[in-house]
Structure 1
Amino acid sequence: MQAFTSTKHREGGIPYKWIVVIVVLFGSFMSILDQTIVNNALPRLQSAFGVDFNSLQWIITAYTLTQGVVTPTTAFFSNRLGTKRFYVIALAIFTLGSALCGLAWNLPVLIFFRIVQAIGGAALFPLAITLLFTEFPPHQRGLATGILGISALMAPAIGPTLGGYIVTYADWPLIFYVNVPVGVIGIILALFLLREHTTANKVSFDLPGFIFAALGLTALLYAISNATSAGWNSPYVLSSLIGGLCALLLFGLIEFNIARRGKQPLVDVRLFANGPFLCSNIASALISFGFFGGLILFPIYTQNLRGLDAFYSGLVTLPLSITSMLAAIVGGRIVDRFGPRVVLFPGLVFMALSTWQLTQMTQTTSYTWFVLNMALRGLGLGCLLQPLTVSALSRVPRTQFAQASSLNTVVRFVFTSLGIAVLATVVQNRAATYSSDLAHLLQPTTHSTLELIRKHGLELALQDAFWITLVIFLLAFLAVAFLRVQRHGEEEKSEAVEPTAQRV
């Protein structure tokens, strides 16, 4: 069994576990922020580089693919290098990649630097969870992840607002440069304040597992990313999708065989035999599909349908981040006391109610109503993501925190990409169908009438997409209903058999 060495106590001053919270907030916030801040800058980047929009999509696609491939290696490098050292290295790579992206002089160079950025960013959030769960006892992990949720929940809402402001009032390189001072501060704090976690047993790299994971995730995410533009029936989308799924199936068989022989796999797929881990990941997958995938619908509504610029488009969704942060902190305390399901069910009710209201949204909907709906949606999100992290890791041994958190991150990541692709395709196809049907019925003769038909078709298509996400959230109720998490006393008793921490 692996033996951890860490420092659990700090002489005077702030307890060490809270120092860990402060430090990891920097890296986790930046890694998630960067996934959303670039979206509003795409039109400016298209103008700056003089390229078509399909080529421009690779700025996001390359980042997505790289993160999907690199994230499963988090556990191995954490084991070989030590959690602190690997966290500092990952944050340094991400910060360097951000600076280089701001210096890019053409699109291929920017895409390459985005890959560098993603190599570092992929490990930051799983490492943050690992560091927190190593230091906090089970009865305080809800509060810890609730505070970490400040970064996880602020970033998706602040990203579009900040990105919109920058492209409206400044120039696109600033979107990447904003990461640099935050990253430097995070690196300095990590170097001086974090203490190393090492393991007694150094494992070898699972090369076959990495190859099949890389092939499978790359093919799967590539197919998902291109399905919107090329269509789900496209030969290369279908071949990539089927090939990716086959590679991931082989990956699972390889990893199971390695684990059965007593060796250390890249990802221990036996974690899915853990009831809370399985149910929590199913719920996380559905919520990631419905919520994070659904984020693509709001700029379509506010900008394409209502005519807001990028900055104001982000501004009207800002209440989502405020209420989600409040719900995450309060919900974390409730989770520590009563367990995750007490928070998860109300969160799903808030999310489902908000989504049902969005299915009624039209071109004349009051902005006050929209802002209040975003606030309600934020309450739901704040009650869901962090409690699901706590429940997913509730029965995971301390020695597998890095593996479990990275696997949990990959699941959310893949289903977010799937949600974006599916919902974007639904809106695109349904809008064309509705507009065609209306045009055939009305036989318009003026440009203004055609524009009204186009907008009404888009409005109906968005409503259809929100109906799909509502069904997804209702399915998440079933996953949470089967979730069973042991009491904190039992968790702490089970962790007592794990190697005790020692001061280094």
Structure 2
Amino acid sequence: MQFSISRSRSRLPYKWLVLLVVIFGSFMSILDQTVINNALPGLQRAFSTDLGSLQWVITAYILTQGVVTPTTAFFANRLGTKRFYIIALTLFTLGSALCGFAWNLPVLIVFRIIQAFGGAILFPLAITLLFSEFPPHQRGLASGFLSISALMAPALGPTLGGYIVTYASWPLIFYINVPVGIVGIIMAFVLLRERRSEGRMNFDLPGFVLVATGLAAVLYALSSANISGWDSPTALLTLSGGLCLLALFVIVELRIANRGKQPLVDLHLFANGPFLTSNIANAFISFAFFGSLILAPIYLQELRGLSAFQSGLFTLPLAFASVLTAIIGGRFIDRFDPRIVLIIGLILMGLSTWQLAQNTLTTPYPWLIVIFALRGLGLGCLLQSLTVSALSKVEPRQFAQASALSTVTRFVSTSLGIAVLATFVQSRASTHISTLAQQTKPLSPAAFGLIRKLGLNLAVQDAFWLTLVALILAFIAVCFIHVQQHTSQEKTALAEEVPIEA
């Protein structure tokens, strides 16, 4: 592939080398969050454990991300973005290799924590590196290419995980990261230039303790609510305690900033209009899409009887469609208002969600493929557009903090979506099954089996209707995003670029 190269140069500009490097790391970190979901049954058999204990393999990873991500700006400032990126990628690769060697569940959880230390940092640093090198009029295109990793990984993860569970052994889930990670480390070491931030940040210990414990408590509550329900004392206590700690964190950080010192997280970023509204939309979209990723396996595997691998194959149209619109949408963002691309994406996502909310036990499989492809077209318009609009008026020295905040917003909203939708499906399924059972007399075992499927299907439909409400709220937030348009000089410079050729 020949990338966009200015007519005045014959060699590949440095900014494209940066893009090539960061795609490796961001793809691995996001892939690992989804590939393990379909492998849980295999892990359960391998370690002879219950689902409640096994969920810590995922929960520990999420909690560690919550603790580590807010420190991205500090360590990037102290170590330099190149060095910190290589350290993060090395930790993630090492953690992946160790996970494959795990001999029991507690050891696997510890190794997952090591893996999460690196994985939490890779995507925020990728955004920081890209936006530091690409001018404003090309950031949409750059984000579109980076979105290949952000979009392909969640779509390929279930397929890959399902294949490994069906035809191979679970350690391969982690070993596949190792060669890719080694290549990424070598490329980063050879191709990236060191870039240090202006000034020198001091570590905000009070802020770190508050945000680490607060986010850990909130994320733990959301994860435990998925297992024990929202009325669980553990979930309620940890959620309320975590929210109180985060409220105290906000007060402490604002006081530090008002004294002229450097806080761990500059919350004044939320006074930036495009950053605030983009992150509100980001929260609702993450809740609606990433949170609803648990619904497709329930429908395809439990209700339609497909295997984990067959279920994962249905995400491939979503992946390819999203990559297509991410690249096209990226170029569109550079020329026009990102809101146009966001609105198109939300309409497509809303249409697919509306259709998923009407799926039955006999919905034709070809139509399901069309729905997932439509969902991919919508998703491809959303992620890079939100990134560009959120950082459109952020100073370059604040890219690391801003991208870390957006990342935290995304995975907290995703965790909330998973917890809410999982509990919602369980409660609605019980209600529907009870109602249907009362209407069916006499109730034979075969009839009850059908009623159970019908009740669960209705519950999944209800969950998709709920995500449609979240998308409507995201649409409202997008309408309030105001992004400064490119100058005439920037548009002229963009027009002089040679288009990408296959």
Shorter chain as denominator, the TM-score bin is: over 0.9
Which AA in structure 2 matches 1:448?
Answer: A
Distance of 2:34 and 2:172 partners within structure 1: 14
Q: 1:101 to 1:346 in 2, by over 3 A?
A: same
Deviation at 1:452, TM superposition (A): 0.5
Tell me how large the CA RMSD over aligned residues is.
1.4
Partner of residue 197, structure 1: 195
Distance of 2:9 and 2:257 partners within structure 1: 40
Tell me if the contact between 1:289 and 1:416 (Cα under 8 Å) persists in the aligned partners: yes
Deviation at 1:443, TM superposition (A): 4.1
Distance of 1:96 and 1:447 partners within structure 2: 51
Of 344, 348, 356, which aligns to 1:358?
Answer: 356
Q: 1:53 to 1:490 in 2, by over 3 A?
A: farther
Partner of residue 372, structure 1: 370
1:276-310 deviation per Cα after TM superposition (whole angstroms, max 9, x unaligned): 00000000000000000011100000001111001
Deviation at 1:445, TM superposition (A): 4.0
Partner of residue 72, structure 1: 70
Matches within 5 A, 1:63-462: 63-462=61-460
Deviation at 1:124, TM superposition (A): 0.1
Q: 1:492 to 1:11 in 2, by over 3 A?
A: closer
1:53-85 deviation per Cα after TM superposition (whole angstroms, max 9, x unaligned): 110100000001101110000000000000000
Distance of 1:486 and 1:125 partners within structure 2: 25
Distance of 2:106 and 2:9 partners within structure 1: 51
1:326-355 deviation per Cα after TM superposition (whole angstroms, max 9, x unaligned): 000000000000020110111110011111
Tell me if the contact between 1:79 and 1:199 (Cα under 8 Å) persists in the aligned partners: yes
Deviation at 1:444, TM superposition (A): 4.7
Deviation at 1:398, TM superposition (A): 0.5
How many pairs are equivalent? 484
Tell me if the contact between 1:323 and 1:378 (Cα under 8 Å) persists in the aligned partners: yes
Distance of 2:288 and 2:332 partners within structure 1: 25
Aligned residue for 1:122, secondary structure, equals helix
Distance of 1:220 and 1:465 partners within structure 2: 22
Distance of 1:27 and 1:354 partners within structure 2: 30
Deviation at 1:437, TM superposition (A): 1.9
Deviation at 1:19, TM superposition (A): 0.2
Distance of 1:445 and 1:402 partners within structure 2: 60
Matched, 1:478 2:476: yes
Tell me if the contact between 1:40 and 1:310 (Cα under 8 Å) persists in the aligned partners: yes
Distance of 1:443 and 1:155 partners within structure 2: 47
Deviation at 1:446, TM superposition (A): 2.9
Of 39, 42, 49, which aligns to 2:40?
Answer: 42
Which AA in structure 2 matches 1:466?
Answer: F
Partner of residue 6, structure 1: none
Which AA in structure 1 matches 2:143?
Answer: T
Aligned residue for 1:383, secondary structure, equals helix
Deviation at 1:259, TM superposition (A): 1.1
Which AA in structure 2 matches 1:383?
Answer: C
Aligned residue for 1:199, secondary structure, equals coil
Distance of 2:388 and 2:33 partners within structure 1: 23
Distance of 1:194 and 1:343 partners within structure 2: 31
Gaps of 5+ in 2: 1-7, 492-502
Deviation at 1:14, TM superposition (A): 0.8
Distance of 1:142 and 1:490 partners within structure 2: 17
1:395-420 deviation per Cα after TM superposition (whole angstroms, max 9, x unaligned): 00000000000000000010000000
Deviation at 1:440, TM superposition (A): 2.6
Aligned residue for 1:265, secondary structure, equals coil
1:96-115 deviation per Cα after TM superposition (whole angstroms, max 9, x unaligned): 00000000000000011000
Deviation at 1:447, TM superposition (A): 2.2
Deviation at 1:11, TM superposition (A): 8.5
Q: Which moved more, 1:265-274 or 1:226-235?
A: 226-235
Deviation at 1:321, TM superposition (A): 0.5
Partner of residue 7, structure 1: none
TM-score (norm 1): 0.94
Deviation at 1:461, TM superposition (A): 0.1
Tell me if the contact between 2:76 and 2:197 (Cα under 8 Å) persists in the aligned partners: no
Distance of 1:66 and 1:491 partners within structure 2: 44
Partner of residue 33, structure 1: 31
Partner of residue 464, structure 2: 466
Deviation at 1:491, TM superposition (A): 11
1:370-403 deviation per Cα after TM superposition (whole angstroms, max 9, x unaligned): 0000000001000011101000000000000000
Distance of 2:56 and 2:246 partners within structure 1: 23
Distance of 1:12 and 1:348 partners within structure 2: 39
Distance of 1:491 and 1:470 partners within structure 2: 40
Deviation at 1:199, TM superposition (A): 2.7
Deviation at 1:492, TM superposition (A): 7.6
Tell me if the contact between 1:444 and 1:450 (Cα under 8 Å) persists in the aligned partners: no
Which AA in structure 1 matches 2:24?
Answer: F
Q: 1:399 to 1:200 in 2, by over 3 A?
A: closer
1:17-49 deviation per Cα after TM superposition (whole angstroms, max 9, x unaligned): 000000000000000000000000000100000
Tell me if the contact between 1:395 and 1:491 (Cα under 8 Å) persists in the aligned partners: no
